[in-house]
Amino acid sequence: MATALDNLNAAYANVAQQIADITANPQPSYSENGRSVSWSEYLSMLIDKQKALLQAIQLAGGPFEIPQRAHG
């Protein structure tokens, strides 16, 4: 049974593959039958999703420490 961390890692890999596919074969934005498709907005959304997944992966992978400097 997959863990939450496994699922997050799989989702991250899927989004990374979508980003790779889009950037390997860029398309122009277009409108068809009243429907608009903006590839740049889609790419931005995927990048934001990737960042959010990375954060979730880091939290799910815990425990972690935050280094602090001593003030003296």
Per-residue model confidence as pLDDT tens digits over 30-44: 899 999 989 999 999
5, 61 in Cβ contact below 8 A? yes
> What is the helix (H) or strand (E) element at residue 5, kind and residue range?
helix 4-24
Stated pTM of the model: 0.77
Convert the pLDDT of each residue in 48-64 to its tens digit.
Answer: 999 999 999 999 987 76
Taking the domains of the chain in order of start, what are their residue ranges?
4-26+37-60
- Contacts of residue 27, defined as CB under 8 A and 6 or more positions apart, other chains included, come to 39
Q: Give the HSE-up count for residue 70: Cα atoms under 13 Å, Cβ half-sphere.
A: 1
The three-point CA angle 37-15-42 to 5° equals 20
Write the burial class of residue 18 (CB in 10 Å: 0-12 exposed, 13-18 middle, 19+ buried): middle
